[in-house]
Structure 1
Amino acid sequence: MDHEKVNILLVDDQPAKLLAYEVILKELGENLVVASSGREALEVLLKTEIAVILVDVCMPELDGFELAAMIREHPRFQKTAMIFISAIQVSDIDRLRGYEMGAVDYVPVPVVPEVLRAKVKVFAELYRKTRELERLNQDLEDRVRARTAELENSTAKLRESEERRSMAIAAGKMGSWDWDWVSGDWMWDDGQYRIFGVDPENFEVNPANVQALLHPDDVDQLRKAIAEFNKGTRAYETEFRIVRPDGEVRWCVGTAAATADPNGRVVRVSGVTVDITERKRAEERQNLLAREVDHRAKNALALAQSIVRLTRADEMKAYVNAVEGRINALARVHTILSLSSWQGAELSRLIDEELAPYSPGGQIKLAGPEVQLLPATAQTLALALHELFTNSAKYGALSTRSGRLVIGWQAENDLLTLTWEETGGPQVRTPKSRGFGTRSLLASVESQLGGQAQFDWRSEGLLCRLEVPLTRKSAPTSAAQDKFEASTSPELQRASG
């Protein structure tokens, strides 16, 4: 006798096993629907009426037990027959757990085709009979509804209340919802209220109130989704923003599936909302970091280019040493800034990095508070300190064991004042012309940072005073570089390394 075919859902992560089940069950003449994961099975269940579910116990992400628990939480699937297939020996405790999760039977592996067909056939027939009874019962309800409007209304509300109860799809920042396309009624679960930042007790879910929570620039997404469903689309996904009552903007991704009546008209839309704000923020941080890295790399290359272009020396070895020293100084401050995610650098750390190669013993004394420098200020000041240390090691206090160096600094009213005082070294004479180191120090401090550099070539040792603003932002790299090169170019032919 011809009968209406029912849908049998086969769930297994291994294609070979799914194919084997299809071959075994093909003789039943029913509709076989396959799903390769628990999540795919849930999507099928939301869109299709299923009579029997054949599910593998061992699967990644959602195993058979977890999938069964999620299916049973939804009112539409509380009586759906589920048969577990297990490739391992199932203990009584495992069987009991399976029955508690909603299983109606177990089939061990290797599967005996005749046994599997017989079990599935029994439940398929039971489902068919149940559906026939439901149809007969519906006819009876229609007669009663025609006579008693109050009873019909009460029954409809009870059914709608059960159907609209949201299924807990996953823990975390997710929510599910149902929208009755005919009446316009909405039903949200707790996750949906939490995402939108509203109180279930005080918030009425209706199209107007929902639209009011959407970001003004994303309201068209809702209109577009409605238009797509009216055109016959059965599934829709989009990203959108919401504005919570407290003003916080959150990013979400929404997935919706439509249910149609026999005439193809949409009667209900169910969906899931996922809060992806943290992912969006991470993407923004990543993009910002990429741009920052590009910007910093260009700055570093520009400085290195200047160092190579402007450094002069009488012989190649001296030239190489001078260039390497300056680029190493730039690399050291780059490392310090990288460790702070380019938030800034401590002045004392810059000084420690520069004096480390000299093993000064008791020759150097430092005195000053902790001062945080902006990245651009730290880079420029690091190169200036490198020139002072290099000059002192070649010609000044650090060139002899008897020499002494005192570096002191203080910060007041957003102005850093650093004093460099050398004593006990070789006798100092005021230079007839400034070398590249002195000129580059002046150019970087004055042109790039808007500060001042003063030199007093005392006979007992150099006294240098640097004044640097702490809050002023440096000029764009290209402009600052032009000033730097312009200030050093007149004496390039006479400059020493």
Structure 2
Amino acid sequence: MDQEKVNILLVDDQPAKLLAYEVILKDLGENLVIASSGREALEVLLKTEIAVILVDVCMPELDGFELAAMIREHPRFQKTAMIFISAIQVSDIDRLRGYEMGAVDYVPVPVVPEVLRAKIKVFAELYRKTRELERLNHELEDRVRARTAELEASTAKLRESEQRRSMAIAAGKMGSWDWDWISGDWMWDEGQYRIFGVSPEDFEVTPASVQALLHPDDVDQLRKAIAEFNKGTRAYETEFRILRPDGEVRWCVGTAAATTDESGRVVRVSGVTVDITERKRAEERQNLLAREVDHRAKNALALAQSIVRLTRADEVKAYVNAVEGRINALARVHTILSLSSWQGAELSRLIDEELAPYSLGDQIKLAGPEVQLLPATAQTLALALHELFTNSAKYGALSTRSGRLAIDWQVDEELLTLSWEESGGPLVKTPKSRGFGTRSLLASIESQLGGQAQFDWRAEGLLCRLEVPLTRKTAAAAPSKFDTAGAAELQRASG
């Protein structure tokens, strides 16, 4: 069989010398690779497996010593044979330096072809034998791996089981157990103790003690499982609750499998318990969220329906504009509540949203602390503010450039008092009757929130005061100190 050729790298900056080396080494029958500089030699080494390097000591930029040092720094080429060719007389110091840099031999110039071929042939054969030895080592390793394969296969299931058990113990969500059906002995792993909230030192595993930890409503699950195994069932799975000694209730799913003897009689039952409490809680939260979304959607639709039903106007266009404005106000507060996950809305944010459509510059002044409103309060108050802004923009202070509006609010014992004061606008006259939208929507302050509204139609501008409870408990408190004589009229207007 022909021997596999090896690669021999020839490095010299003079083409004539490279050609001479090729002629001398041609008869060896190996692959000759040419490099005309040290850098080119490094590039070749990174791409090609080289058996022997023949390198000239004297080269510009990167001489043979420097090249050898760089080659030896790379872990892959630390054992590659390097032969130096020197055209000058090499002193012992230079020769020692070359050996320190990684040279294995020197060839002086003029080169004796037979000597050069002999040296290259020796190192090429050494490389080839080394490679053959490496292959033999690989084959030996393969045989060793093959001989241990049966042992690994026989222990694979045990190792996988142990890994699962370790992961379950680490996560605290899974445990395994074993029940000797004949003797009644139980064996629990650490995860099983952790799920049940007991410790191996203080808890003796017996049928009675295990049953005592089951939720009273789920004890029948254990009896049913025992009955099923006695009937010949080989596997059983069920969900159940446990009642830990500290009073905490945990949801679990248990899977059990029976081992039988030759006669088919159950002799052992083994199983796994998984704590699924978090999954159960997530399902409950999801169901609650679905009901909450349904409730909020119905509320929003009910409000929209009321707006459409109660809005009055002499013309279709006026009716459309009124409905559209109120629906948009409802939509804006809905967006604010959605961004807070329906936890509530800030009063200043509601006012800013209602101000957004107007370019009023310094006509409006706001003053008041940060107030967080409940969702229902925010919706009702947003519609009331919308009516006040709309009426002011049409007929009041905001209808002229000279008009001014001051809105301030304060909180005292969970009761919000908001003052709306207009000035500088058209002369105000007390209306003979209030607008339907204003009456109906402000009536909701009293009927829905348990608050109060007061209007003072001053000549210089409207003064409106609203009292709004901030908690449901406050909403049931005593009536406002403000005059409530018009409450009945507002209720009739909204009915």
- The two structures have a TM-score, normalised by structure 2, of 0.62
CA contact (8 A) 1:164 1:187 kept: no
* Alpha-carbon distance between aligned partners in 1 of 2:81 and 2:39, rounded to the nearest angstrom: 18
CA contact (8 A) 2:256 2:269 kept: yes
- In structure 2, the CA distance between the partners of 1:190 and 1:390, relative to structure 1 (3 Å rule), is same
SS of structure 1 residue aligned to 2:474:
coil
CA contact (8 A) 1:218 1:240 kept: yes
- In structure 2, the CA distance between the partners of 1:496 and 1:219, relative to structure 1 (3 Å rule), is closer
CA contact (8 A) 1:260 1:268 kept: yes
CA contact (8 A) 1:145 1:151 kept: no
- In structure 2, the CA distance between the partners of 1:168 and 1:370, relative to structure 1 (3 Å rule), is closer
Note the C-alpha offset of 1:407: 1.1
SS of structure 2 residue aligned to 1:170:
helix
* Alpha-carbon distance between aligned partners in 1 of 2:444 and 2:41, rounded to the nearest angstrom: 66
* Alpha-carbon distance between aligned partners in 1 of 2:364 and 2:324, rounded to the nearest angstrom: 24
Residue deviations 1:44-95, cap 9 Å, x none?
9999999999999999999999999999999999999999999999999999
Note the C-alpha offset of 1:452: 0.4
- In structure 2, the CA distance between the partners of 1:292 and 1:233, relative to structure 1 (3 Å rule), is same
Note the C-alpha offset of 1:465: 0.5
* Alpha-carbon distance between aligned partners in 1 of 2:36 and 2:219, rounded to the nearest angstrom: 35
Note the C-alpha offset of 1:442: 2.8
Question: 167-176 or 319-328, which moves further after superposition?
Answer: 167-176
- In structure 2, the CA distance between the partners of 1:97 and 1:387, relative to structure 1 (3 Å rule), is farther
Note the C-alpha offset of 1:324: 0.7
Note the C-alpha offset of 1:453: 0.2
* Alpha-carbon distance between aligned partners in 2 of 1:407 and 1:111, rounded to the nearest angstrom: 105
CA contact (8 A) 1:404 1:423 kept: yes
Note the C-alpha offset of 1:437: 2.3
SS of structure 1 residue aligned to 2:13:
coil
Residue of structure 1 in register with 2:20 after alignment: 20
- In structure 2, the CA distance between the partners of 1:278 and 1:260, relative to structure 1 (3 Å rule), is same
Residue deviations 1:406-441, cap 9 Å, x none?
111111112111111111111111111011222123
- In structure 2, the CA distance between the partners of 1:304 and 1:107, relative to structure 1 (3 Å rule), is farther
Matched, 1:317 2:320: no
SS of structure 2 residue aligned to 1:466:
strand
* Alpha-carbon distance between aligned partners in 1 of 2:12 and 2:256, rounded to the nearest angstrom: 25
SS of structure 2 residue aligned to 1:111:
coil
Gaps of 5+ in 2: none
- Shift >4 Å, 4+ stretches: 1-172, 478-497
- In structure 2, the CA distance between the partners of 1:306 and 1:275, relative to structure 1 (3 Å rule), is same
CA contact (8 A) 1:439 1:488 kept: no
Note the C-alpha offset of 1:166: 8.9
CA contact (8 A) 2:427 2:460 kept: yes
SS of structure 2 residue aligned to 1:480:
coil
CA contact (8 A) 1:180 1:186 kept: yes
- In structure 2, the CA distance between the partners of 1:180 and 1:354, relative to structure 1 (3 Å rule), is same
Question: 24-33 or 206-215, which moves further after superposition?
Answer: 24-33
* Alpha-carbon distance between aligned partners in 2 of 1:140 and 1:377, rounded to the nearest angstrom: 82
Matched, 1:470 2:470: yes
- In structure 2, the CA distance between the partners of 1:301 and 1:239, relative to structure 1 (3 Å rule), is same
In our comparison, the structure showing a higher alpha carbon Rg is 2
Question: 321-330 or 408-417, which moves further after superposition?
Answer: 408-417
CA contact (8 A) 1:166 1:188 kept: no
* Alpha-carbon distance between aligned partners in 1 of 2:365 and 2:418, rounded to the nearest angstrom: 13
* Alpha-carbon distance between aligned partners in 2 of 1:235 and 1:447, rounded to the nearest angstrom: 62
* Alpha-carbon distance between aligned partners in 2 of 1:180 and 1:107, rounded to the nearest angstrom: 82
SS of structure 2 residue aligned to 1:479:
coil
* Alpha-carbon distance between aligned partners in 2 of 1:253 and 1:37, rounded to the nearest angstrom: 73
Note the C-alpha offset of 1:215: 1.3
* Alpha-carbon distance between aligned partners in 1 of 2:279 and 2:61, rounded to the nearest angstrom: 21
Residue deviations 1:372-399, cap 9 Å, x none?
2111111111111111111111111211
Note the C-alpha offset of 1:236: 0.8
Question: 268-277 or 480-489, which moves further after superposition?
Answer: 480-489
Note the C-alpha offset of 1:200: 2.2
* Alpha-carbon distance between aligned partners in 2 of 1:35 and 1:238, rounded to the nearest angstrom: 75
- In structure 2, the CA distance between the partners of 1:309 and 1:159, relative to structure 1 (3 Å rule), is closer
Note the C-alpha offset of 1:347: 1.4
Residue of structure 2 in register with 1:496 after alignment: 494
Note the C-alpha offset of 1:246: 1.7
CA contact (8 A) 2:397 2:425 kept: yes
Note the C-alpha offset of 1:359: 2.8
CA contact (8 A) 2:452 2:479 kept: no
CA contact (8 A) 2:439 2:493 kept: no
CA contact (8 A) 2:443 2:491 kept: no
SS of structure 2 residue aligned to 1:481:
coil
* Alpha-carbon distance between aligned partners in 1 of 2:429 and 2:200, rounded to the nearest angstrom: 83
* Alpha-carbon distance between aligned partners in 2 of 1:70 and 1:378, rounded to the nearest angstrom: 76
SS of structure 2 residue aligned to 1:20:
helix
How many matched pairs?
Answer: 495
- The two structures have a TM-score, normalised by structure 1, of 0.62
- In structure 2, the CA distance between the partners of 1:454 and 1:187, relative to structure 1 (3 Å rule), is same
- In structure 2, the CA distance between the partners of 1:390 and 1:141, relative to structure 1 (3 Å rule), is closer
SS of structure 1 residue aligned to 2:343:
coil
* Alpha-carbon distance between aligned partners in 1 of 2:46 and 2:268, rounded to the nearest angstrom: 11
- In structure 2, the CA distance between the partners of 1:399 and 1:269, relative to structure 1 (3 Å rule), is same
CA contact (8 A) 1:53 1:81 kept: yes
SS of structure 2 residue aligned to 1:358:
coil
- In structure 2, the CA distance between the partners of 1:336 and 1:259, relative to structure 1 (3 Å rule), is same
SS of structure 2 residue aligned to 1:453:
strand
Question: 254-263 or 74-83, which moves further after superposition?
Answer: 74-83
- In structure 2, the CA distance between the partners of 1:423 and 1:186, relative to structure 1 (3 Å rule), is same
- In structure 2, the CA distance between the partners of 1:311 and 1:77, relative to structure 1 (3 Å rule), is farther
Note the C-alpha offset of 1:147: 40
Gaps of 5+ in 1: none
* Alpha-carbon distance between aligned partners in 1 of 2:144 and 2:378, rounded to the nearest angstrom: 85
CA contact (8 A) 2:57 2:84 kept: yes
- In structure 2, the CA distance between the partners of 1:161 and 1:263, relative to structure 1 (3 Å rule), is farther
Question: 237-246 or 99-108, which moves further after superposition?
Answer: 99-108
* Alpha-carbon distance between aligned partners in 2 of 1:54 and 1:282, rounded to the nearest angstrom: 73
Note the C-alpha offset of 1:255: 0.8
CA contact (8 A) 1:181 1:266 kept: yes
- Structure ranking higher on relative contact order (CA contacts 8 Å, 6+ apart): 1
- In structure 2, the CA distance between the partners of 1:155 and 1:321, relative to structure 1 (3 Å rule), is closer
- In structure 2, the CA distance between the partners of 1:120 and 1:290, relative to structure 1 (3 Å rule), is farther
- In structure 2, the CA distance between the partners of 1:60 and 1:227, relative to structure 1 (3 Å rule), is farther
SS of structure 2 residue aligned to 1:232:
coil
Note the C-alpha offset of 1:201: 2.0
Question: 378-387 or 188-197, which moves further after superposition?
Answer: 188-197
CA contact (8 A) 1:74 1:166 kept: no
- In structure 2, the CA distance between the partners of 1:311 and 1:222, relative to structure 1 (3 Å rule), is same
Alignment of 1:283-298 (within 5 A): 283-298=283-298
* Alpha-carbon distance between aligned partners in 2 of 1:182 and 1:239, rounded to the nearest angstrom: 25
